Structure 1
Amino acid sequence: MEHRSVTPTAHGPGATFTGDVWVTPITGPTAPSRLSAALVRFTPGARSNWHSHDVGQTLHGVDGSGFVGTRDGRVVRIRAGETVWTPPGEEHWHGAADDTLMAHLALLDVNEDGSDPTRWLEPVTDEQYQAAHTSAGTTR
């Protein structure tokens, strides 16, 4: 067994997020595991850029309400207790609704060679973000 102290929370970088996002790392890959996990907190309206993961990503909602959207226009609402899986290579984004905080656990595996599996792309436009509210319904 190994006990780890709390890792400091860091502000999500402006190059990959819109709005205020806070990331608390939980674990990095420790061989033989390749699991990387973090608690990510989004303020209302905050969201990630478009991105994909080489081996997919699991998002598990822990507080508030937000969205996960894909390039084909599909948007799902994510709430505490709900889980969303994005398969390898699927371009997507995630973030809080415009009127509530949203926090999720972000779980993914690093590549077998230890390289970063995340491919960051362009920001989600305000129009794409607002369309998510309509696509996912207005029930909060």
Structure 2
Amino acid sequence: MVRHEEVKNGVIFPAGEKNEAFSQFFTGQSYLQSLVFDPNVNVVVGNVTFEPGCRNNWHIHRGGYQILLVTGGEGWYQEEGKPAQLLKAGDVIVTYDGVKHWHGAAKDSWFEHIAITAGKPEWLEPVDDELYSKL
């Protein structure tokens, strides 16, 4: 059974289009709705929706940070060298400059978060399937 299927319908913000621009950095299907993309503002804000099992690659934010505001479903966040954290609506994650991490949906749940990002991401390797399957 797929939990939190209502997330795909954009309960708070629309799920957006298939995230083709960043698809090479994701395992599975994600969707992106830009909320703030203004050259006069030093952050980008987007609604990212993950199908069950979808997650992004390990990555590092350079010259900035990322704040995740979880708005629906269940997912995971993990920093290198630390255990993965289960995320649910209402959770907030702050990732500091230079911290290697990943985030994405639980295996059986849709997942959605608002990403507030400053700086540039450095995309790295995919999350190991064996590591993910143990969550």
TM-score (norm 2): 0.81
Contact 2:76 2:104 in 1 (8 A): yes
Deviations, residues 59-81 of structure 1 (Å, cap 9, x unaligned): 11011000001110321111111
Partner Cα distance (1:63, 1:28) in 2 = 22
Is 1:21 paired with 2:30? yes
Is 1:125 paired with 2:128? yes
- CA-atom RMSD, angstroms? 1.6
2:86 to 73, 77, 83: 77
Tell me the residue number matched to 2:7: none
Structure of larger gyration radius: 1
**Unpaired segments of 5 or more residues in structure 1?**
1-5, 111-116, 134-140
TM-score (norm 1): 0.79
Tell me the residue number matched to 1:40: 48
Q: How much has 1:91 moved relative to structure 2? A: 0.5
1:106 to 112, 115, 118: 115
**Unpaired segments of 5 or more residues in structure 2?**
1-13
Sequence identity, in percent?
A: 31
Q: How much has 1:49 moved relative to structure 2? A: 0.4
Contact 2:66 2:94 in 1 (8 A): yes
1:64 to 65, 69, 73: 73
Structure having the larger proportion of residues in strand: 2
Tell me which amino acid in the other structure corresponds to 1:84: I
Structure having the larger proportion of residues in helix: 2
Partner Cα distance (1:119, 1:99) in 2 = 28
Tell me the residue number matched to 1:9: 17
Is 1:87 paired with 2:90? no
Tell me which amino acid in the other structure corresponds to 2:131: Q
Q: Which runs of 4+ in 1 moved over 2 A?
A: 8-14
